[in-house]
């Protein structure tokens, strides 16, 4: 990371996750940018806060937090910003970016959306009504949470609560089926992802006035965390003409 990065990227975690997911990426070199993981209320460094399960309230709160952080970074020389989000975090990141534009007149250079189902085709499921055991079974099948965590009762209970919160938030994504943002969307899809196909990923094109770029990586739904160099290249380049 350079002493004076020109671009800050706010990174949103997948469902049930926290800012700690991006700790390894923060430790990697990046010449012209800085990664700023977004911490959800009630998790990680904000564990003492009450979790927010109302999407409009959460989006407004996160938009204000990111705006304050961005203003400080701009005073230090940061010239532009972008967002990154994986899965659940992909949708949330675009909604928060839209809220930043509405509330503060701030629009990102682009938004990177990884393995995420667009609001226009979001499923209307009832996972938030699952028992803790059912939620943990889903988490185990998805392989997005370490098995050692799922075997520890206290930690597993926290995972179930955080996933339930995000499932409730995800259901509210349905209100954003007509969402349209001005920035280019950079889409990253894993070729063997059993949850989000490349065709489903392309539905994001309808949500951007700036076009969409499709990038593929090998692997499954959580493969993105093993491809920092590819992600860094996508985060560093300037938007180009849509390739979808």
Residue 12 sits at the vertex; the CA angle it makes with 213 and 166, to the nearest 5 degrees, is: 115
* 137: in domain: no
At 138, which helix (H) or strand (E)? Answer: helix 132-142
Cβ within 8 Å of residue 71, ≥6 positions away: none
* 134: in domain: no
Our measurement of the distance from residue 239's CA atom to the centroid of its chain's CA atoms, rounded to an integer in Å, reads 19
Q: What does the pLDDT read at residue 2?
A: 47
The domain that holds 31 is classified in CATH as 3.40.50.1820
Domain assignment of residue 203, given as a range: 7-118+177-236
* 27: in domain: yes
Q: What does the pLDDT read at residue 150?
A: 82
**pLDDT per residue of the chain (244 residues) written in tens, 0 to 9:** 445 789 999 999 999 999 999 999 998 878 889 999 999 999 999 999 999 999 999 999 999 999 999 999 999 999 999 999 999 999 999 999 999 999 999 999 999 999 999 999 998 888 888 888 988 888 888 877 888 888 888 888 888 999 999 999 999 999 999 999 999 999 999 999 999 999 999 999 999 999 999 999 999 999 999 999 999 999 998 755 433 3
Partnered with residue 113 across adjacent β-strands are 85, 187
Q: Indicate the pTM of the whole model.
A: 0.92
Query: What are the structure tokens assigned to 238, written together?
Result: 């300037």
Rounded Cα distance, 178 and 176, in Å: 5
Q: Total structural domains in the chain?
A: 1
* 33: in domain: yes
* 139: in domain: no
Rounded Cα distance, 11 and 8, in Å: 10
Note whether 235 and 33 are within 8 A (CB): yes
Q: What does the pLDDT read at residue 1?
A: 43
DSSP-derived pairing of the beta strands 184-190 and 212-217: parallel
* 18: in domain: yes
Widest distance between CA atoms in the chain:
49
* 91: in domain: yes
* 43: in domain: yes
Q: What does the pLDDT read at residue 3?
A: 58
């Amino acid at each position: 990371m350079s002493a004076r990065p020109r671009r800050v990227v706010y990174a949103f975690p997948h469902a049930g996750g926290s800012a700690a997911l991006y700790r390894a990426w923060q430790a990697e070199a990046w010449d012209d940018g800085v990664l700023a993981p977004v911490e959800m209320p009630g998790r990680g460094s904000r564990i003492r806060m009450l979790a927010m399960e109302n999407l409009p309230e959460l989006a407004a709160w996160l938009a204000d937090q990111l705006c304050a952080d961005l203003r400080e970074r701009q005073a230090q020389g940061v010239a532009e910003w972008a967002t990154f989000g994986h899965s659940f975090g992909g949708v949330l990141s675009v909604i928060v970016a839209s809220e930043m534009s509405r509330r503060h007149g701030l629009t990102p250079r682009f938004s990177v959306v990884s393995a995420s189902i667009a609001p226009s085709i979001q499923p209307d499921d009832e996972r938030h009504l699952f028992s803790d055991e059912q939620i943990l079974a889903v988490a185990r099948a998805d392989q997005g949470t370490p098995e050692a965590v799922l075997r520890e009762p206290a930690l597993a209970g926290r995972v179930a609560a955080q996933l339930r919160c995000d499932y409730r938030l995800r259901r509210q994504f349905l209100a954003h089926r007509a969402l349209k943002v001005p920035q280019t969307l950079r889409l990253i899809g894993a070729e063997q992802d059993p949850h989000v196909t490349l065709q489903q990923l392309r539905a994001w094109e309808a949500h951007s006035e700036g076009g969409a770029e499709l990038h593929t990586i090998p692997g499954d739904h959580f493969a993105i965390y093993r491809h920092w160099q590819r992600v860094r290249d996508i985060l560093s380049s300037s938007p180009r003409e849509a390739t979808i």
